[in-house]
């Protein structure tokens, strides 16, 4: 209990009156997984983790924290990429025990869930009602809906369905003073003043705790056609997207860039990954068409469109999966890049967005810029280019000293982000700001934008107890 000494006795006693003893966690071993992240950015500290089971408990905790001005860090599945859920001595409010489905309304195409529900559970639930929930990200077996909303997560289906913000109809939020805002509306249309839900989405836990959400569902997807295609050159990625959009319309659900170095990583380190084409090319894409009819139309359409692309010289070769196994093998290439890229001696990550038509120029200019910092550096530019979102990660040259590489991080960040900025792009497309990109906030956002954010922050969280030191600098405004 010594670890709790820094908190007033009365505060701890009052907390214990609100929350069940098993949800009041001080055991270091149990807290440990919440102090680090998968990217290796974080080395957190905390002596207390609370795992509430309902909205009233969250409300009671926040009211107390507000009264005592004791800060908390909200945490879902802790799969975030920017250390946003990692405490620096604060109490952790882990939401994973709030994981009930509140109601599903297939006719309204909605489902209302607790914020701690795991994303994959929502996928399964939707299918049981012949519906589809489209947010699709590599961490879906672990991440929570609350975390997805708080980071406004993206993934591989944004092209067709939008990002998390577009999939949320209503929210229930506990404000920092403990007040509960019930905004759980199931409406597509509701123009009644300011869109408050949008303030909490993408706020990375700095404005309140999302305790529940009403999500949009879609007709069940019963047919998918997946292809791996090699582009004539990088510029062709824009022409191919244009053709796929024109010919595929709403069927086009994913468009992901795979560079040859990414394919190399996947084949070298991944399991059950088959070389998709007989020859390797420098730039490739994974394409998915999907539909609700299960009549072969998606596959036929994709086949015809790719034939046109070959005839027009936009692509050099392509394969369409003939079985689910083959489709999975193609998608495994994409997943393996994320998992195994660190094996190339480490990586410096960038999650940038530029207008789609600028993707090729961005990649070429960024390659030149990072090579000016370290001549033989190995860029791995991949990801959701159908949304203009490039995971522009760079690995060191072969045999390069690890420490020297890490020392170049800031220089490389600046080189890459300056180019994204020049194209009117973003330094944080889908992963958020957290702790990791706070400097970029100051460098690339206008004073007006930062000041507006500070005004929102201070009016909702005057005691600054919500996730201090994340997104905006932690100081009294």
Could you tell me how many residues make up the chain? 477
* Binding status of residue 468 toward ligand FAD by CB under 6 A: no
Sites for ligand 2HG among residues 132-171 (CB under 6 A): 138
Q: How far is the CB of 219 from ligand FAD (least distance, A)?
A: 23
- Reported as type and span, the H/E element at residue 123 is helix 119-128
Q: How far is the CB of 235 from ligand FAD (least distance, A)?
A: 25
Q: In Å, how far are 134, 162, 188, 248, 249 from 159, measured between CA atoms?
A: 11, 6, 20, 12, 11
Q: Of these partners, ligand 2HG, ligand FAD, none, which one is at the site of residue 205 (CB under 5 to 8 Å by kind)? A: ligand FAD
- Which of 44, 52, 76, 248 touches ligand FAD by CB under 6 A? 76
Q: Of these partners, ligand 2HG, ligand FAD, none, which one is at the site of residue 464 (CB under 5 to 8 Å by kind)? A: none
* Binding status of residue 437 toward ligand 2HG by CB under 6 A: no
Structure tokens at 202: 């993408």
Over the range 199-238, which residues count as b (16 or more CB within 10 Å of their CB) and which as e? Answer: ebbbbbbbbbbbbbbbbbbeeebebbbbbbbbbbebebbb
Kindly tell me which of 97 and 364 has the beta carbon lying closer to ligand FAD.
97
Choices 14-22, 257-265, 373-381, 428-436 (CB under 6 A): range interacting with ligand FAD: 428-436
Sites for ligand 2HG among residues 281-300 (CB under 6 A): none
* Binding status of residue 393 toward ligand FAD by CB under 6 A: no
Choices 4-12, 75-83, 285-293, 406-414 (CB under 6 A): range interacting with ligand FAD: 75-83
Choices 103-111, 205-213, 271-279, 366-374 (CB under 6 A): range interacting with ligand FAD: 205-213
Q: Which of 75, 68, 78, 73 is nearest to 90 (CA)?
A: 73
Choices 25-33, 79-87, 259-267, 368-376 (CB under 6 A): range interacting with ligand FAD: 79-87
Q: Of these partners, ligand FAD, ligand 2HG, none, which one is at the site of residue 63 (CB under 5 to 8 Å by kind)? A: none
Q: In Å, how far are 106, 264, 321 from 185, measured between CA atoms?
A: 15, 47, 41
What is the distance between the alpha carbons of residues 436 and 438, in angstroms, rounded to a whole number? 6
**The residue to which tokens 């709790």 are assigned:** 4
- Reported as type and span, the H/E element at residue 74 is strand 72-75
- Which of 47, 51, 55, 139 touches ligand FAD by CB under 6 A? 139
Choices 40-48, 149-157, 294-302, 323-331 (CB under 6 A): range interacting with ligand FAD: 149-157
- CA 181, distance to chain mean position in Å, is 25
Q: How far is the CB of 154 from ligand 2HG (least distance, A)?
A: 7
Q: What 3-state class would DSSP assign to 120?
A: helix
Q: Which of 211, 206, 209, 210 is nearest to 465 (CA)?
A: 206
Q: How far is the CB of 213 from ligand FAD (least distance, A)?
A: 9
The phi and psi torsions of 346 (rounded to 5 degrees) equal 105, 170
Q: Of these partners, ligand FAD, ligand 2HG, none, which one is at the site of residue 144 (CB under 5 to 8 Å by kind)? A: ligand FAD
Q: Give the long-range contacts of residues 296-300, CB within 8 A, separation 24 or more.
A: 296/223, 297/223, 297/251, 298/223, 298/224, 298/225, 298/251, 299/223, 299/225
* Binding status of residue 81 toward ligand 2HG by CB under 6 A: yes
Kindly tell me which of 345 and 462 has the beta carbon lying closer to ligand 2HG.
345
Structure tokens at 375: 């001549």
Contact between 378 and 395 (Cβ < 8 Å) = yes
- Which of 66, 75, 110, 305 touches ligand FAD by CB under 6 A? 75
* Binding status of residue 52 toward ligand 2HG by CB under 6 A: no
Size of the site for ligand 2HG (CB under 6 A): 7
Q: In Å, how far are 137, 142, 284, 296 from 333, measured between CA atoms?
A: 14, 20, 11, 25
* Binding status of residue 467 toward ligand FAD by CB under 6 A: yes
- Which of 393, 426, 464, 467 touches ligand 2HG by CB under 6 A? 393
Kindly tell me which of 138 and 397 has the beta carbon lying closer to ligand 2HG.
138
Sites for ligand FAD among residues 321-350 (CB under 6 A): 338
* Binding status of residue 349 toward ligand 2HG by CB under 6 A: yes
- Which of 338, 353, 385, 460 touches ligand 2HG by CB under 6 A? 338
- CA 175, distance to chain mean position in Å, is 24
- Which of 44, 170, 205, 276 touches ligand FAD by CB under 6 A? 205
Q: Which of 259, 249, 242, 359 is nearest to 298 (CA)?
A: 249
**The residue to which tokens 């405004």 are assigned:** 477
3-state helix, strand and coil shares in percent for the chain, rounded to the nearest 5: 40, 20, 40
* Binding status of residue 147 toward ligand FAD by CB under 6 A: yes
Choices 140-148, 181-189, 191-199, 392-400 (CB under 6 A): range interacting with ligand FAD: 140-148
Kindly tell me which of 318 and 472 has the beta carbon lying closer to ligand FAD.
472
Residues that bind ligand 2HG (CB under 6 A): 81, 138, 338, 349, 383, 391, 393
């Amino acid at each position: 209990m010594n670890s709790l000494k820094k908190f007033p006795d009365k505060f701890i006693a009052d907390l214990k009156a609100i929350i069940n003893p098993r949800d009041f966690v001080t055991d270091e071993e149990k807290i440990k997984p919440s102090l680090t992240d998968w990217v290796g950015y974080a080395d957190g500290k905390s002596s207390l983790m609370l795992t509430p089971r309902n909205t009233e408990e969250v409300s009671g905790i926040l009211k107390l924290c507000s009264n005592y001005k004791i800060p908390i860090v909200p945490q879902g599945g802790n799969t975030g990429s920017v250390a946003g859920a990692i405490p620096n001595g604060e109490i952790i409010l882990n939401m994973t025990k709030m994981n009930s489905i509140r109601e599903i309304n297939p006719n309204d195409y909605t489902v209302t869930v607790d914020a701690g529900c795991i994303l994959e559970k929502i996928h399964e639930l939707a299918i049981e009602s012949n519906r589809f929930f489209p947010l699709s990200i590599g961490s879906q077996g672990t991440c929570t809906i609350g975390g997805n909303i708080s980071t406004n997560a993206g993934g591989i289906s944004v092209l067709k369905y939008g990002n998390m913000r577009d999939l949320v109809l209503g929210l229930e939020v506990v404000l920092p003073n403990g007040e509960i805002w019930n905004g759980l509306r199931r409406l597509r249309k509701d123009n009644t003043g300011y869109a408050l839900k949008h303030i909490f989405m993408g706020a990375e836990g700095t404005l309140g705790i999302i305790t529940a959400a009403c999500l949009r569902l879609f007709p069940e997807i019963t047919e998918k056609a997946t292809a791996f295609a090699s582009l004539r050159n990088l510029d062709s990625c824009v022409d191919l997207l244009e053709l796929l959009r024109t010919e595929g319309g709403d069927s086009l659900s994913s468009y992901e860039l795979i560079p040859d170095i990414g394919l190399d990583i996947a084949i070298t380190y991944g399991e059950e990954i088959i070389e998709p084409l007989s020859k390797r090319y420098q730039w490739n894409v994974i394409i998915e068409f999907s539909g609700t009819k299960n009549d072969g139309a998606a596959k036929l359409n994709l086949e015809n469109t790719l034939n046109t692309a070959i005839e027009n010289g936009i692509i050099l070769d392509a394969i369409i999966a003939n079985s689910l196994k083959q489709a999975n093998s193609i998608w495994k290439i994409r997943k393996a890049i994320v998992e195994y890229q660190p094996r190339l001696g480490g990586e410096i990550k960038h999650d940038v967005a530029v207008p789609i038509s600028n993707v090729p120029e961005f990649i070429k200019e960024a390659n030149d810029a990072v090579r000016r910092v370290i001549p033989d550096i190995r860029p791995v530019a991949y990801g959701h280019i159908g949304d203009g979102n490039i995971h522009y990660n760079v690995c060191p040259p072969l045999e390069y000293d690890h420490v020297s590489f890490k020392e170049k991080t800031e220089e490389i960040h600046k080189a890459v982000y300056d180019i994204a900025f020049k194209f009117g792009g973003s330094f944080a497309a889908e992963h958020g700001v957290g702790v990791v990109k706070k400097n970029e906030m100051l460098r690339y956002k206008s004073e007006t934008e930062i000041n507006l954010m500070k005004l929102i922050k201070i009016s909702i969280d005057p005691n600054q107890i919500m996730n201090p030191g994340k997104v905006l600098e932690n100081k009294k405004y």
